[in-house]
Amino acid sequence: MKRREFLSLSAFGGASIIASNAVDAWAQTAAGRFEIEENSVAALQDAMKAGKISSREITQKYLTRIAMVDKKINSIIEVNPDALAIAAQMDRERRAGKVRGPLHGVPVVIKDNIDTADKMRTTAGSLALVDAPTPKQDAFIVSRLRDAGAVIIGKTNLSEWANFRDNDSISGWSGRGGQTRNPYILDRNPCGSSSGTGAAIAANLAAVGIGTETDGSIVCPSSICGIVGIKPTVGLVSRSGIIPIAASQDTAGPMCRTVADAAAVLTAIDAADGGDPATTGKREKVDYTMFLKADGLAGARIGVARDYWGRNAVVDAVLDAALAAMKKAGAILVDVKFPNLRKFGDAEFLVLQYEFKDGLEKYLRSRGSRWRTLDDLIKFNNDNAAREMPYFKQGIFESSAKKGDLNSKEYREAVETCRKYSRDEGIDEAMKKHNLDAITGPSNAPTWMIDTVNGDCGSGYVSSSSMAAVAGYPNITVPAGFTKELPIGISFFGRAWSEATLIKIAYSFEQTTKARRKPKFLQTYA
C-alpha cells in the first residue's frame, strides 16, 4: 500500500520539517543537541524548565523522527498539522509562569478510534469513516490531555475496528492505514488492536501514547513492542468519544516506555465524566506518581497464575527469571490456580457481539455518518472489497449484526456468566483466599510473522489478559525480558480500582530488572 498523503512532508504544513540546509546550524544549538530517544516525561519537563529546549523544539524533533523512521513501521496514520502551533502556545504559557502539570508541552499520540474535534480524522482505520463529519467535540480523555498541556502530535494506526471485524484478521492492519510492523523485527506483528501506539512509543516517535482495550488491545501490543501498558478498571477512564466495542469491557489507557510515564498519563486522564455513567461513582482524585516506590515489591503478596505456565518454554524461562527477581526484592510469591479459566470465553464473545452492535450504531448516529448501522458498514465493505477486504472478511460484523437488543435473555445470561467466572469465582476469590496484593502472569509469547494468508497465527501463544479484561479490572504489563531480539512482558492484575497498588509493584519490578531496551528495526531474525 502506498504511503498515505498525510504522512508526506506536505502534511506538516506550517509545521514543516527543518530544511536540510539549516540542519547543521540548528544542530549546534542546545535544542539541536538534545536527545529525545528514550527520554522520560520527567526528563523532558526538566529540560524545558531549564530552558535547554522548548516544547516546540521537542515536537519538531518528534515530527522529524516520524518522517524519517515511521516509513519502516507504518505506525502513524496521520500527523496533527497544528502540533507545532499547540506546542508554541504551551511555550508561551510556560514563559508566563503557567505550567499545567507533568504533561505540559509533552507530545502524545492517540489511537485512531478516539475522537478529536480538529483537523485530524477519526476512522477506526476504516475507509467508511474517512469522509464522515469531524466529531463535534473531543473525546473526554482528549480534553483531559489538552487541559493537562499535552501536545497531540498525531493519531496511530490500529487493527481495523479495534480488531472486531473478522476472526481471521491481521493485527495491525487497517483499510485506511495498511500494515503496522514491529519495530524490533520488521517482518513480525506488533499485535493489536492498539498496534500503532505500541510500535510508535517503542520507536520513540512520541513521548507517550494512548491506546484502548476491550480484551488485550493495550496489554498485547505494549508487551510485544517492549513498553509499559496500563489497562485501567472499567470506569476509571471515560469512554465518551471513543468508537466502542463493548461497554462492559472497553477502556482507554496509557502506553509508555516507563511505569513513571504511564502513571503521569493515567493521573491526567483519570476523571469523572457525566457522559460516561461508569465513571461517575464515588471516587477520589489520585496522583498515581505518588506510588512510584522502588521498594514496592518488598512484602507484597503476589499470586503466580500457574495456569499460564507450561504452554511456551521460552515464556516460562523469562517469567521464571522475573519471579526470581521479585522474590529477591522481597515479594512473597503464592501459586494460584483458576479452575474456571475456560468457562467464560464463549460468553464473553456473545457479550461483545451484542454490545458492539448496540454501541457502534449509537456512535455512528451521533457522529452523523451516512453509515448508520452495522448492516450499512457490511454493505460498504462488500462494495469496496478490494480495498477493505483484500486479506480477511467480516465474519464478526455479520454475526454481530444478527444479534438482538440488550434485553435478550441470551445476552443477560452471558453477562452473568462472565462476571461469575472472571470476578466472583476468579480474581476476587483468588485474591481473598490468598490475601494477595496482585496476581502475575505472562503478557505475551514472542510475536509471530506478519501473514496475509493465514492472519494471526502465533505459535505457542500465551497471554493472561482475558480474565482481568472480562472482569473489567486493571492490568499492567511491564517488559520482563527478550528472546531472539523479541520482547516478553509480564502482567500484574488485581481487584477493581487497585491501580495504585499495581503501579507500586510494577514500578519496583521495572527498577529491579530494567528489562526494556530500544528496538533495532531488524529486517528479520537471522
DSSP assignments along 96-113, one per residue: TT---STTTT-EEEEETT
Average pLDDT score over residue span 497-515: 98
Is residue 110 one of the residues assigned to a domain?
yes
Mind listing the pLDDT tens digit for each residue in 324-333?
Answer: 999 999 999 9
Question: How far apart are the C-alpha atoms of 219 and 236, rounded to whole Å?
Answer: 17
Q: Which of 54, 55, 75, 111 is catalytic?
A: 111
Decide if pLDDT at 109 tops 90. yes
Q: What is the residue-averaged pLDDT of the chain?
A: 94
| pLDDT score for 459 | 60
Average pLDDT score over residue span 480-507: 98
Q: Which of 54, 143, 169, 193 is catalytic?
A: 193
The domain spanning residue 64 has which CATH number?
3.90.1300.10
| pLDDT score for 22 | 47
Report the domain count for the chain.
1
Q: Measured between alpha carbons, how far is residue 212 from residues 31, 89, 244 in Å?
A: 33, 28, 10
| pLDDT score for 28 | 56
Selection from 171, 140, 169, 176 nearest residue 155 by Cα: 176
Count of helix runs (H) and strand runs (E) in the chain: 19, 13
What order of strands is seen across the sheet that includes strand 208-213? 76-79, 151-156, 107-111, 208-213, 251-256, 228-231, 475-483, 486-493, 438-442, 301-305, 332-336
CA dihedral 472, 478, 481, 487 (to 10 degrees): 70
| pLDDT score for 228 | 99
Is residue 365 one of the residues assigned to a domain?
no
Selection from 295, 273, 294 nearest residue 283 by Cα: 273
| pLDDT score for 447 | 95
Is residue 18 one of the residues assigned to a domain?
yes
Amino acid letter, residue 197: T
Concerning whether 362 is annotated as a catalytic residue, the answer is: no
Is residue 359 one of the residues assigned to a domain?
no
Is residue 10 one of the residues assigned to a domain?
yes
**How large is the C-alpha radius of gyration of the chain?**
22
Handedness of CA 154, 487, 217, 140 (dihedral sign): negative
Burial of 342 (0-12, 13-18, 19+ CB in 10 A): exposed
Is residue 482 one of the residues assigned to a domain?
yes
Q: Which of 126, 159, 174, 217 is catalytic?
A: 217
Domain region containing 128:
5-344+413-513
- Of 224-228, 277-281, 299-303, 342-346, the one with minimum mean pLDDT is 277-281
Residues 6+ apart with CB under 8 A from 139: 114, 115, 116, 238, 240, 241, 242
Strands 438-442 and 301-305: parallel
Is residue 353 one of the residues assigned to a domain?
no
C-alpha cell at 307: 495456569
C-alpha cell at 168: 481471521
Number of C-beta neighbours around residue 453 at 10 A:
8
Is residue 402 one of the residues assigned to a domain?
no
Concerning whether 408 is annotated as a catalytic residue, the answer is: no
C-alpha cell at 353: 457481539
Concerning whether 193 is annotated as a catalytic residue, the answer is: yes
Question: How far apart are the C-alpha atoms of 79 and 120, rounded to whole Å?
Answer: 8
